[in-house]
């Protein structure tokens, strides 16, 4: 009998391929998904996802987290809504890369545009 680190049981899976959702289990080992389907065995941790939707992490392609990433690594509230990847700096205003001589100007810009106190 196999033992997995974590098994998510009986979830309605939307796998991101545009295919129809399906009910299945998901086995996770070493931080990676190792099996999707009917998972035999036990999990050290088991999550009952009956009646719940299970999806891959979402990618937010337009954010204004440039400042928040400097003081918080969880990027709330997006991470609470399933976002696992956030793209930053795509509006032309960001914290990096910046030349050392432009630090003060950039700080003043962020204080005004994003209401970020420094």
Q: Which CATH number fits domain 3-54: 2.30.40.10, 2.40.30.10, 2.40.10.10, 3.30.1330.10?
A: 2.30.40.10
Residue pair 13/55 in contact (Cβ under 8 Å)? The answer is yes
Return d(Cα 24, Cα 28) in angstroms, integer: 13
**Taking the mean position of all CA atoms in its chain, how far away is CA 116?**
24
CB-based contacts of 95-104 (< 8 A; 24+ apart in sequence): 95/66, 95/67, 95/69, 95/70
Return d(Cα 25, Cα 12) in angstroms, integer: 9
| Dihedral pair phi/psi, residue 21, rounded to 5° | -65, 155
In this prediction, residue 117 carries a pLDDT of: 62
Q: What's 50's DSSP letter?
A: T
Residue pair 4/31 in contact (Cβ under 8 Å)? The answer is no
Write down the pTM of the prediction. Answer: 0.66
In this prediction, residue 113 carries a pLDDT of: 65
In the chain, domain spans = 3-54, 58-113
Q: Is the pLDDT of residue 118 over 70?
A: no
Residue pair 57/82 in contact (Cβ under 8 Å)? The answer is yes
Q: Is the pLDDT of residue 78 over 70?
A: yes
Q: Is the pLDDT of residue 86 over 90?
A: no
pLDDT tens digit sequence for 17-63: 999 999 999 999 999 999 999 999 999 999 999 999 999 989 998 88
Q: Is the pLDDT of residue 3 over 80?
A: yes
pLDDT tens digit sequence for 88-115: 777 766 666 778 898 888 777 777 666 6
């Amino acid at each position: 009998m196999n033992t997995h680190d974590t098994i998510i049981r009986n979830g309605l899976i939307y796998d991101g391929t545009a295919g129809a959702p399906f009910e299945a289990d998901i086995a996770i080992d070493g931080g990676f998904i190792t099996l999707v389907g009917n998972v035999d065995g036990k999990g050290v941790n088991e999550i009952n996802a009956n009646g719940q939707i299970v999806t891959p992490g979402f990618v937010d392609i337009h954010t204004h987290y440039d400042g928040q990433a400097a003081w918080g690594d969880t990027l709330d509230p997006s991470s609470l809504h399933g976002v696992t990847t956030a793209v930053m700096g795509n509006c032309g205003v960001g914290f990096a890369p910046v030349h050392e001589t432009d630090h003060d100007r950039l700080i003043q810009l962020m204080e005004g545009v994003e209401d970020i106190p420094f």
